[in-house]
Every structure is written in C-alpha cells, then in structure tokens.
Amino acid sequence: MSARAIAFAAAALLWVAPPARAAGATVTVGHNRIEPAKVSIHKGESVTFHNVDEMPGGHTIVADDGSWKSPPLKKDESFTRKFDKPGTTTIHIEQHPTAKGEIDVQ
Ligand SMILES: [Cu+2]
C-alpha cells in the first residue's frame, strides 16, 4: 500500500469516527425521583434537569448547601447548570425532600 493510500485510509477512518460524546449529563426529574440519582461529569460540563411529571407548583431542584436552585419546572421544562469546580454536590427536589441526587464533578 502506498503512503498516499495509507494516508487516505487513515483520513477515511477519522471521517467515520464517532463524534466526541456529548459533554455533561441529563437527569430526569419526576414525582419523588431523580434519575439517575448519581451522575459524574468533568469540570466545565453541565447537567440538564428535565422534569417529566406534572405537579402543581412544579418541581424545583435545590442544592443541599443552598448555593443554587432551579426555577420551578413544569412538565417537559428543563434547567441546565454548569459546574466549574471539582467536588460533590448533593441535591434534592424541594417539593419532595426525600428525592435525593448527587453530582460528582471531576
Ligand atoms: Cu411531584
């Protein structure tokens, strides 16, 4: 195989390589549930919380340490937050305090 053919084959392989995986994570929020309950991301990535259940007053995602909260999310609404610092953040649903989650930022 000529060098040119090898270079062409390499380029073709690069062309069909899948794109880098989407950064961050998506979490489903519902009545009394956060799924998955634990997600891992890298610093600078975002987590999107997608509320799938109808609830009077909505579902609000709250950091346990009180540092941030989402607006109340109606059904099919989402909230995205970027995490710039490594560490663990525990969260819960304001309307369902027993529904807990964890975001690990590496
Ligand atoms: Cu609910």
Tell me if residue 12 falls in helix, strand or coil.
helix
User: What is the total count of domains within the chain?
Assistant: 1
pLDDT digits (tens, 9 = 90+) for 35-89: 999 999 999 999 999 999 999 999 999 999 999 999 999 999 999 999 999 999 9
Ligand 1 centroid–CA 94 distance in Å is: 9
Ligand 1 centroid–CA 65 distance in Å is: 21
For residue 20, pLDDT beyond 60: no
Q: How many CB atoms lie within 10 A of CB 49?
A: 23
2 within domain boundaries: no
Ligand 1 centroid–CA 81 distance in Å is: 21
The pLDDT of residue 23 is: 81
Ligand 1 centroid–CA 53 distance in Å is: 7
Bridge-based pairing state of the strands 61-63 and 87-93: antiparallel
Domain that holds residue 73: 23-105
Average pLDDT over residues 11-22: 57
Ligand 1 centroid–CA 97 distance in Å is: 10
55 within domain boundaries: yes
64 within domain boundaries: yes
